Amino acid sequence: MSTLRLADREFRAGEFAVMAVVNRTPDSFFDRGRTYGFHAALDAVDEAVAGGADIIDIGGVKAGPGEEVDPAEEIRRVADLVSAVRERHPDVVISVDTWRAEVGEVVAQAGADLLNDTWGGVDPRLAEVAARHGIGLVCAHAGRVTPRTRPHRIAYDDVVKDVVGYTVELAERAVRAGVRRDAILIDPAHDFGKNTWHSLEVSRRLHELVATGWPVLVAVSNKDFVGESLGGLPVAERHAGTLATLAVSAWQGARVFRVHDAASARAALATVARLRSEV
């Protein structure tokens, strides 16, 4: 596995990076707006960094259906926070969760090091933004669906084959657009354009994504497939299932882990690293 380089940080093969979620949204599925306020969001960043986060992933739009958020409002929510985090934590890698090139351009100028394109390349200009600013890009598989929608009865002949083929295609396309190869990650995007069975199958066979040679990011924290797999648990009771899924993913070779609780994730991943070192 190759070294992943984001900003001035290097994550070598076998090292795990924790990406902490900080959402400036009033309707996040997880915290219901707890970090919507600017100062609350900045406090959450401080807490995540203290807990061992290597990357802060800032989002301004709820992933699921909800109130319309236009590019101007998304920029208002995230750009100033990126600038503040850049000044407050100069060594942390800053990621912004967006599918829009116009948002990517503004946050790149504000100091972002990574564009987390969760919706899988719906705006190909986002890769051009990453290339122009010399920053990283996450290439995700969202089932080719429209952002913020939940498709009804989506189906795949082989979901993992589809995920591998699509994310690798996006990654190679990003390289052709000028994005540095060592600054690209692929993400199966659990629950995006997938039902619970699909997300579980991706989790079981994550090693097939790792085998592509691209660094793999997993974003499974408190997601619906975790709750449904455990008998329909609500969001507040999915923590143990989240840590178990992180451990399985790390054991198979995932490199970056997008989470809501950086300290717990760091402890779980340290345990996996220790176990792997004894094999």
Model confidence over 64-101: pLDDT tens digits? 888 899 999 999 999 999 999 999 999 999 999 999 99
Average pLDDT over residues 103-113: 98
Number of compact structural domains in the chain = 1
What's the pLDDT score for residue 31?
77
Structural domain boundaries enclosing 126: 4-277
Model confidence over 126-158: pLDDT tens digits? 999 999 999 999 999 999 999 989 888 899 999
256-259 and 114-117 strand pairing = unpaired
Structure tokens at 52: 């061992």
Rounded CA separation 57/55 (Å): 6
Determine how many CB atoms are found less than 10 A away from the CB of residue 95: 30
For the cut 90, the answer to whether the pLDDT of residue 279 exceeds it is no
Rounded CA separation 24/34 (Å): 9
Please check whether residue 190 is in contact with residue 209, taking contact to mean a CB–CB distance below 8 angstroms: no
What's the pLDDT score for residue 276?
87
Q: How confident is the model at residue 260 (pLDDT cuts 50, 70, 90)?
A: very high
Structure tokens at 75: 């920029």
In the chain, % of residues over pLDDT 70: 99
Q: How confident is the model at residue 19 (pLDDT cuts 50, 70, 90)?
A: very high
For the cut 70, the answer to whether the pLDDT of residue 119 exceeds it is yes
Model confidence over 221-253: pLDDT tens digits? 999 999 999 999 999 999 999 999 999 999 999
Q: Tokens 């380089």 — which residue? A: 5
For the cut 90, the answer to whether the pLDDT of residue 164 exceeds it is yes
What's the pLDDT score for residue 88?
97
Model confidence over 23-64: pLDDT tens digits? 999 987 777 679 999 999 999 999 999 999 999 999 999 998
160-168: which pairs have CB atoms within 8 A and are 24 or more residues apart?
160/201, 160/202, 160/205, 160/208, 160/209, 163/188, 163/202, 163/209, 164/208, 164/209, 164/212, 166/120, 166/141, 167/139, 167/140, 167/141, 167/209, 167/212, 167/214, 168/212, 168/214
What's the pLDDT score for residue 278?
65
CATH of the domain at 28: 3.20.20.20
- pTM score, whole prediction: 0.96
